[in-house]
Amino acid sequence: MSDINIFGHQAVFEHVYKSAPIGIALVTIEGNWISVNPAACKMFGYTEEELMAQPATEYIYSDCITNKDKLFRSLDESSSINAVEKQFVHKDGNLIWASMHVSLVRDEQDQTPLFFISQIVDITDSKVAEQKLQESIERYTSLKKYNHDAIISFNLDGRVLNGNQMAEQLTGYKIPKLIGTRISNLIGERNLSRVLSSMEDYAAVEKAINVIHHKDGHTVEVLATLAPIVIHNKNVGYYIIAKDMTEQKRLIIEKEAAEKTNKAKSEFLAMMSHEIRTPMNGVIGMTDLILDTELDAEQREYVQIIKKSGTTLLNIINDILDFSKIESGRTELVEETFNIRMALSETLNMILPKALEKNIEVTTSVACDVPTQVYGDMTKLRQVLMNLLTNAIKFTSNGSVSISVQCVKSRAHLALLQFSVTDTGIGVASDKVAQLFEPFYQVDHYMTRQVEGTGLGLAICKKLVQLMGGDIWYERNPNQSGSIFTFTVDFSVETNGGNTQETGTVHENHSAISDLKILIAEDNEVNQLVLKKMIQKLGHDSTTVTNGLEAVEAFKRYPYDMVFMDIQMPYMDGMEAVRVIQESAPPDKQPYIVAVTAHAIKGDREKYLGMGMDEYVSKPVSMNVISNIIDKYLEEKSTTPS
């Protein structure tokens, strides 16, 4: 009697069925559940009842269950066992892979199919490892196939193992012909010996491999990289990665030649511009001297034409000199501590005469968080501002030009300031914006343009801003026609300078050129300066304040004859300030008050005069208007009995 009979078939089967580490499922020929063992339930995370509630066909050979004859034939042809890999969803939602070995149990007498036995093995770990390996192989294959550099592998015997498509182009050999040949045919025997020598430094060997020998006999300049092939911690060969440097070398040579040519051109321009500039200064200086002599009207007209033409030519030469100095690398930053508001005011002072001549309003806005004292190159900042403001006035026939300054980023001892120059001029066509900062480029065609210039101004601005660590760009004026040129500069901030504001300062000077005492109440620094300069040129001195409160306080300290009162000001507007001044002054000491406003709406004059003001003027103010107002006041004063 055999051992199996001692224990009984049923007991053995029941033990194996319940204790086996693999899942076992019994399914009827019709595809219904008979039983499922604990290992299968554990594998899928379900209880026996939950698992048997699912379709039983999913756990045998579901693809063929609808065609039993085909299924039976398939099982008979494979010795009654058929294996298939299938993916399932675990109860927790994760995907698992299982290998199912399906067998058909038949009746021993007539071979009638009785039921299926499915043995299920969890192969998730091995399947994931297989997929990762396949992904690695595919990534490696793609990297090698589509790499722009030649990749050739060889073993420790110096025999080529494989290569990519770029290796064929670089060497002239097809890969099947290259495999098995000596790599020394491509890199030289000496280099191969150095590669295979464990004592050699890879970096030194890579530098030595600077050419690859082509099939037709010529050599190709390359930049080589070596990488060992390590399998199971053992070096079994090498990859050589070779980049064709032929085109790069040509470009480098051309670039160096272009740079030398450009430098020579810039140095020549710098020298010639300087040589021409010196006698031009003499020409302009002599015309100034001639203009101071006795000339008749015709002679004076001719000399003024000479001076204007000479000044224009000198400006062109200065632009070329600046640009060539920058291009040749001779321009350096000359940094110092300076007052940012003072630098802005001085720059505006230089362009105001041209703005007044064209009746253009110029306004400024400096944010309160902009530091007063900064450390940087004031001269180059003023040069950029001067260029942008001059352009703005040049291309604006009427309207206004404004400049704003704000702090866009502040960190320890550093401040990134942003300057924006906005005008209401002709603007720039969209298709021309890209070339704005290119050297010698002009928006207007040279045959039709109405303004003079070299086309270097914005190119110089860009170079200078970049030299100061900033950037410059152009935008369309969103509110109306015109342009906005914005640039940034990174300044160091003086720790002892602080972020003090210069608001609330009253500049009083009563050593008047004439006996007329004039007060200017205006919150805009540029408009203050415009009015003050005009009044000064007319032979009078003036005091400036920045708001209505300061105007009232100034009048209490000193009895002014005339007050030019801006209507819109902070803290106390002009109308309220006028009311307080008139109430505080005795009848015989009432000042002559001129309302100054940026608006020129019909009926404004009557409105302000009806509020007790003596005169009204709209911005931009002109010297003729101011002169007429002062003359009118003096005439009225002289005719009024004292």
Mean pLDDT for 84-95 is 88
Instruction: Kindly list the distances between the CA atom of residue 297 and the CA atoms of 284, 300, 306, 341, 396, in Å, as whole numbers in the listed order.
Output: 19, 5, 14, 43, 32
| Separation CA 202–CA 206 (nearest Å) | 6
CATH code, 517-639? 3.40.50.2300
- Which stretch, 102-111, 154-163, 330-339, has highest mean pLDDT? 154-163
Tell me if the pTM is above 0.85: no
Which strand (E) or helix (H) includes residue 146?
Answer: helix 124-146
- Smallest Cα–Cα separation from 532: which of 396, 372, 352? 352
Looking at the domain 336-492, which fold is it? Heat Shock Protein 90 (3.30.565)
pLDDT at 1 over 50: no
Tokens of 519: 């007060």
Please write the tens of the pLDDT for every residue from 32-41.
899 999 999 9
| Separation CA 102–CA 116 (nearest Å) | 7
- On the question of a common fold for 9-124 and 131-247, the answer reads yes
Burial 57-85 (b: 16+ CB within 10 A, else e): bebbbeebbeeeeebbebbeeeeeebeee
Give residue limits of the domains in the chain.
9-124, 131-247, 257-327, 336-492, 517-639
pLDDT band at residue 569 using 50, 70 and 90 as cut-offs:
confident
- Which stretch, 406-415, 431-440, 519-528, has highest mean pLDDT? 406-415
Looking at the domain 257-327, which fold is it? Helix Hairpins (1.10.287)
- Which stretch, 99-103, 282-286, 617-621, has highest mean pLDDT? 99-103
Where do the H-state alpha helices sit in 199-296? 202-208, 246-291
Residue 499 confidence (pLDDT): 44
Please write the tens of the pLDDT for every residue from 326-353.
666 666 777 889 999 988 888 887 788 8
Scan for tokens 């291009």, then name that residue. Answer: 327
Residue 514 confidence (pLDDT): 60
| Separation CA 107–CA 103 (nearest Å) | 13
pLDDT band at residue 451 using 50, 70 and 90 as cut-offs:
very low
Whether the upstream peptide bond of residue 55 has omega within 30° of 0, thus cis, is no
- Smallest Cα–Cα separation from 40: which of 17, 9, 64? 17
Mean pLDDT for 52-68 is 71
Query: Does residue 348 contact residue 510 with C-beta atoms inside 8 Å?
Result: no
pLDDT band at residue 593 using 50, 70 and 90 as cut-offs:
very high
Instruction: Kindly list the distances between the CA atom of residue 544 and the CA atoms of 128, 326, 507, 510, 527, in Å, as whole numbers in the listed order.
Output: 83, 41, 6, 12, 11
Give Dmax (Cα) for the chain: 155
How many helices (DSSP H) and strands (DSSP E) are in the chain? 21, 22
What count of other Cβ atoms lies within 10 Å of the Cβ of residue 517?
Answer: 18
Lowest mean pLDDT across 7-21, 349-363, 385-399: 7-21
CATH code, 131-247? 3.30.450.20
pLDDT at 133 over 60: yes
Lowest mean pLDDT across 87-91, 276-280, 442-446: 442-446
Mean pLDDT for 308-337 is 70
Strands 234-244 and 219-231: antiparallel
Helix axes 457-467, 378-394, angle to 10 degrees: 150
The three-point CA angle 476-480-484 to 5° equals 30
Q: What DSSP designation does 621 have? A: P
Tokens of 451: 């303004």
Cα atoms in the Cβ-side hemisphere of radius 13 Å centred on 502: 18
pLDDT at 14 over 60: yes
| 3-state secondary structure at position 296 | coil
pLDDT at 527 over 80: no
Query: What superfamily in CATH does domain 9-124 come from?
Result: PAS domain (3.30.450.20)
Residue 452 confidence (pLDDT): 47
